[in-house]
């Protein structure tokens, strides 16, 4: 009897195991012209997924049209995409999350390819890369240059190979969604998600996806100069927090070079005349040398602190029981 029960359990376990749950998360602000199509497209592309639309204080019919299309609509009262993403990851429980903008510029048919590396365990985050396949009118020239510049900086510091840092079309596992603290408020949230993932050594895989221009009647919320400045500020703050040795080390090297340049003449004067005539340059060189040593020391201390915090975080993650998808 006991043996039969064990055999029955052993044969039923694989079949009783449910498929991974998938949630499609759509942050929206004033997207009444496109949100219904986005919801419908992703319902067709991922039939078993739940589609959640987070309305960020829209004054148009965004929420109503999303609800009529079959989405689960929730509201985020704090204005800003970063707040929306933080709430989505905190509120929704799923095994796989697909995050996509509600402007109908991303290809819903690519969603199965986007989540495939997550389901197979080959990636922790996937990014729909818009660089390879795109319509010429879909990108603003300054956005392309800014994307490439920031991506190169991050790749140089983290040793990664990111091509489309600002893509809003992403797939993440439950572990990523629940372990990354989203602190960004606006459109710099994609930069933060990438940096946080690289810092925690999550595997990021880019999937080439078609990207099209906004349909007529839909308007971009991006402001090139203010949002670009916000992205650079976020990059600056996160690099000094998560890569302090590289950040402060580079500053220390720059200060040391300045010290050498400034102190060259006083040294030559002393060697030749046994007297320093350019005292201000000597003082500046000494000050820069001290600052270079301080910057290097700060980088080493913060790097050691970050290393210990990473160890503590990994221990806590191992001790936290994994939940089940809804």
- pLDDT tens digits for 71-100? 999 999 999 999 999 999 999 999 999 999
Cβ neighbours of residue 211 closer than 8 Å, sequence gap 6 or more: 105, 106, 107, 128, 130, 133, 134, 135, 138, 139
* Per-residue model confidence (pLDDT) at position 140: 55
Q: What is the mean pLDDT of the chain?
A: 85
Closest CA to 81 of 31, 118, 148, 131: 31
User: Cβ–Cβ contacts within 10 Å for residue 212, how many?
Assistant: 16
Closest CA to 180 of 96, 89, 114: 89
Q: Say whether 103 sits in a helix, a strand or coil.
A: coil
Please write the tens of the pLDDT for every residue from 105-115: 999 999 999 99
Residue with tokens 């919801």: 39
Please write the tens of the pLDDT for every residue from 135-167: 445 555 556 777 788 888 889 888 899 988 889
The answer to whether 112 and 24 have CB atoms below 8 angstroms apart is no
Rounded CA separation 53/25 (Å): 6
Residue 326 has pLDDT above 50, yes or no: no
User: Cβ–Cβ contacts within 10 Å for residue 147, how many?
Assistant: 20
Residue 133 has pLDDT above 60, yes or no: no
Please write the tens of the pLDDT for every residue from 23-58: 999 999 999 999 999 999 999 999 999 999 999 999
* Per-residue model confidence (pLDDT) at position 309: 81
Please write the tens of the pLDDT for every residue from 240-279: 888 899 899 999 999 999 999 999 999 999 998 999 899 9
């Amino acid at each position: 009897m006991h043996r039969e029960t064990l055999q029955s359990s052993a044969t039923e376990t694989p079949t009783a195991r449910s498929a991974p749950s998938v949630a499609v998360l759509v942050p929206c602000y004033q997207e009444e012209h496109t949100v219904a199509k986005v919801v419908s497209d992703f319902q067709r592309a991922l039939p078993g997924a739940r589609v959640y639309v987070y309305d960020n204080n829209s004054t148009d019919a965004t929420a109503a049209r999303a609800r009529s299309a079959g989405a689960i609509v929730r509201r985020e009262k704090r204005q800003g995409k970063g707040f929306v993403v933080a709430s989505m990851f905190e509120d929704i429980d799923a095994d796989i999350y697909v995050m996509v903008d509600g402007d109908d510029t991303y290809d819903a048919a690519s969603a199965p390819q986007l989540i495939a590396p997550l389901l197979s365990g080959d990636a922790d985050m996937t990014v729909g890369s818009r660089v390879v396949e795109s319509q010429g009118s879909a990108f603003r020239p300054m956005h392309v240059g800014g994307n490439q510049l920031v991506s190169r900086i991050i790749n140089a510091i983290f040793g990664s190979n990111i091509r489309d840092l600002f893509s809003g079309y992403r797939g993440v596992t439950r572990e990523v969604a629940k372990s990354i603290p989203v602190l960004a408020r606006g459109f710099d949230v994609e930069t933060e998600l990438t940096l946080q993932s690289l810092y925690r050594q999550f595997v990021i895989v880019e999937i080439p996806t078609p990207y099209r221009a906004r349909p007529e009647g839909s308007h971009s919320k991006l402001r090139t100069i203010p949002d670009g400045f916000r992205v650079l500020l976020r990059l600056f703050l996160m690099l000094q927090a998560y890569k302090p040795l590289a950040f402060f080390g580079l500053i220390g090297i720059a200060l040391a070079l300045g010290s050498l340049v400034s102190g060259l003449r006083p040294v030559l004067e002393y060697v030749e005349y046994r007297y320093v005539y350019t005292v201000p340059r000597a003082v500046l060189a000494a000050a820069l040398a001290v600052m270079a040593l301080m910057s290097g020391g700060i980088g080493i201390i913060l790097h050691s602190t970050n290393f210990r915090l990473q160890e503590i975080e990994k221990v806590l993650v191992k001790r936290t029981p994994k939940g089940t998808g809804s």
